[in-house]
Amino acid sequence: MFAVCAIALLCLAYVSHSEPLTCKDVLQPLDELDPNDLQGEWAMVAGSLRVIESDEPFDIPDSVSLNFYNSTFTKGNLYGESINTTFTHTSCRDCILLSFDVESGKRQHFYLFSRRRQLEQEEIEEFTAQVECLKMPPPAVMDPTKELCPDETASDPAARNEEKTKGQRS
């Protein structure tokens, strides 16, 4: 009797683990987001863009980076477009996944950023599955061997001072 129960449990465990994740499972928005965890530089690892008029994949440069920083003054310019941004859950431990829905679905962006330049294959596969769930073109994956474009104003104190001076004159 014990053997029968053990086999039944193993079969149930196998079936429950072999069931693929649904799109609802892989596209969960983040419940909590600590802005302090975002500070610093993030490299774009992969991205997809869908424009209603076109299902063609988008061309991207060799590297893209994103910087979050603590700021007491922010300014946003929006020229007639409405943008909804969502942070989406990912199993990647040092990644952020951003979705931008522009003008109610006319254009949809889905970007995976990480502190690392190269991710594990499983992490890329998860992102690809998320892109497929959104019915977007296959993602473009950045080449981790390419250098990130240098951020001249962040690394050059003279450029930072010049930028501050220009901002004060305006």
Residue 93 lies in a domain: yes
| Structural domains counted in the chain | 1
User: How confident is the model over 66-125, as pLDDT tens digits?
Assistant: 666 665 555 565 566 678 888 999 999 999 999 988 876 688 999 999 999 999 999 999
Q: List b or e across 82-107, with b for residues whose CB sees 16 or more CB atoms inside 10 angstroms.
A: eeeeeebebebeebbbbbebbeeeeb
Q: Is it the case that residue 156 has pLDDT exceeding 80?
A: no
Q: Which residue has the higher pLDDT, 153 or 144?
A: 144
The 8-class DSSP code of residue 94 comes to T
As a whole number, the mean pLDDT across the chain is: 75
Tell me which residue range forms the domain holding 119.
21-70+80-147
Exposed / middle / buried, residue 26 (Cβ in 10 Å: 0-12, 13-18, 19+):
buried
Identify the CA nearest to 132 among candidates 15, 19, 21, 53. Answer: 21
Cβ-contact 43, 117 below 8 angstroms: yes
We report the CATH number of the domain holding residue 95 as 2.40.128.20
Residue 141 lies in a domain: yes
